[in-house]
């Protein structure tokens, strides 16, 4: 019997996954972490928030790598003993530490940032992925994110590629593949509110189980 | 408000997906179609059941294609007007027709055979995919299918490749990718019985929705 659940939410751009996560947190009255996570990580490390924002859900590129390996101003070797690592990797490590600390505090919802992989050894984590059909994603990209009508589809595709690159770089799993997650959902079938309710039903059943079989490493 | 639901179940080999489908059908007291489907298709076409079994969930290979294009004994052009098609493609068309006929009769569970793609235009279909961690799949392959302990993992991988080839060949989607389905589930998290209960809860919510947004073609 589990008393807390950490929900990690992966999502396609424009799928409404972030809204599902936020609503889930509201309904269960537990903390919700998305960009807020970045601010927290920044605060703990003493590094600038802008650095984290620029690196947010981006994998290390070789160009960036060489730049960092050269003379990138890290505040005089801000992170002792890690100066040989690319900046994005250092930021990822700091962020992972923050994610672990948050997960240990109790139930919460964490969106993106490889949180499912970071927390792979915890028994009370439910890994969820939200996707939707392209027409709905385009609509959401235009209405919620102010994307240009003609460019909205390519923005969705580009953002997804970026997220996939980030995820696949920092984990040994594949973003968007069903077996990476405990549950994946098309948010268009039940709508956002219905999707939240299904996840709550799932959690109620999950809490009654012993341990978590997915913990077995492959 | 929907009064019937057709459940299509895709599944990794050894994931317990077939059992989930069978149990779901039992609990809801609706028909279950798996290999039985083949027998039905065979019966309707007048072709031998062995032909269907050999082609079951296998895509057309070019070797097979040329063989069929040559002198393969199709009973004197058994399927009029289609003799220029590879045999597996002809069998797929006949099977698809059977799947459509079954779906129109009312609620049922159909395992594999690209049924989700075949029924893509129906509004009352829930497309589900079941997967599991490799250690559980190996265990199931040994205990339920009598696979050799040393070979069980490679059998799982090979069977999945075959299913993926079949699915990707006959549809414009990708097998095992989350966005191909309405819901995907790791059967190890809730167990087989729990997975069935979650799908039933999902269906109850689905029936209350209007239409199906996933119907929008992309």
| Residue B188 tokens, joined | 């190890």
Strand B183-186 and strand A183-186: pairing?
Answer: antiparallel
Residues of B in contact with A177 (CB under 8 A): 176-178
User: What are the pLDDT digits (tens) for B82-116?
Assistant: 456 777 788 888 888 889 999 999 999 999 889 99
- In this predicted structure, which of A118-122, A155-159, B20-24, B51-55 has the lowest mean pLDDT? B51-55
Phi-psi region of A50 (alpha: psi -120 to 50; beta: other; left: phi over 0): alpha
Identify the pLDDT of residue B119.
93
CA distance A216 to A198: 25
Identify the pLDDT of residue B90.
80
Identify the pLDDT of residue A213.
52
Mean pLDDT calculated for residue range B209-214: 66
User: What are the pLDDT digits (tens) for A137-151?
Assistant: 999 999 988 888 899
Residue window 121-180, chain A: list those with CB within 8 Å of chain B: 126, 129, 131-136, 176-179
Point out the residues of chain A with pLDDT beneath 50.
Answer: 62-82, 214-218
Identify the pLDDT of residue A84.
63
Question: Tokens 């049922």 identify what position?
Answer: B108
Q: Which of B160, B179, B211, B212 should we substitute to test contact with A (largest number of A Cβ atoms within 10 Å)? A: B179
User: What are the pLDDT digits (tens) for B30-46?
Assistant: 999 987 777 777 677 78
Does this complex have an ipTM over 0.90?
no
* B201: nearest CB among A182, A184, A198: A198
CA distance B48 to B38: 10
Q: Does position B73 have pLDDT exceeding 80, yes or no?
A: no
CA distance B52 to B95: 9
Identify the pLDDT of residue A31.
94
Identify the pLDDT of residue B83.
53
B183/A182 CB distance under 8 A: no
Strand, helix or coil for residue B184 = strand
Could you give the percent of chain B with pLDDT greater than 90?
56
Phi-psi region of B177 (alpha: psi -120 to 50; beta: other; left: phi over 0): beta
Note whether A83 contacts B: Cβ–Cβ < 8 A: no
Q: Which of A9, A178, A183 should we substitute to test contact with B (largest number of B Cβ atoms within 10 Å)? A: A178
Which residue stretches of chain B are H helix?
A: 17-28, 35-45, 49-55, 62-70, 87-105, 115-118, 134-145, 152-170, 187-207
With beta carbons less than 8 A apart as the criterion, state whether A154 and A103 touch: no
Q: Which of A130, A135, A184 should we substitute to test contact with B (largest number of B Cβ atoms within 10 Å)? A: A184
B213/A177 CB distance under 8 A: no
CA distance A162 to A115: 16
Mean pLDDT calculated for residue range B147-171: 92
A133/B194 CB distance under 8 A: no
The confidence band for B59, taking pLDDT boundaries of 50, 70 and 90, is low
**What structural domains and CATH numbers belong to chain B?**
6-58+92-211 (3.40.50.300)
User: What are the pLDDT digits (tens) for A172-218?
Assistant: 899 999 999 999 999 999 999 999 999 999 999 999 988 665 444 33
């Amino acid at each position: 019997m589990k008393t807390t659940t950490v929900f990690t939410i992966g999502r396609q751009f424009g799928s409404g996954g972030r809204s599902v996560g936020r609503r889930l947190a509201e309904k269960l009255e537990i903390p919700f972490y998305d960009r807020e996570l970045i601010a927290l990580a920044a605060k703990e490390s003493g590094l600038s928030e802008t650095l984290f924002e620029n690196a947010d859900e981006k994998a290390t590129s070789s160009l960036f790598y060489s730049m960092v390996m050269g003379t990138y101003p890290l505040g005089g070797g801000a992170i002792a003993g890690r100066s040989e690592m690319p900046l994005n990797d250092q930021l990822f490590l700091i962020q992972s530490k923050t994610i672990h600390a948050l997960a240990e505090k109790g139930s919460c919802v964490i969106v993106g940032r490889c949180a499912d992989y970071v927390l792979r050894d915890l028994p009370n984590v439910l890994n969820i992925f939200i996707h939707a059909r392209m027409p709905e994603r385009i609509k959401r990209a235009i209405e919620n994110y102010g994307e240009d009508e003609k460019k909205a589809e390519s923005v969705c595709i580009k953002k997804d590629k970026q997220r996939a690159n980030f995820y696949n770089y920092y984990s040994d799993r594949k973003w968007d593949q069903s077996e990476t997650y405990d549950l994946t959902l098309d948010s268009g079938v039940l709508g956002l509110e219905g999707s939240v309710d299904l996840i709550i039903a799932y959690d109620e059943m999950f809490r009654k189980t012993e341990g978590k079989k997915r913990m077995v490493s492959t």
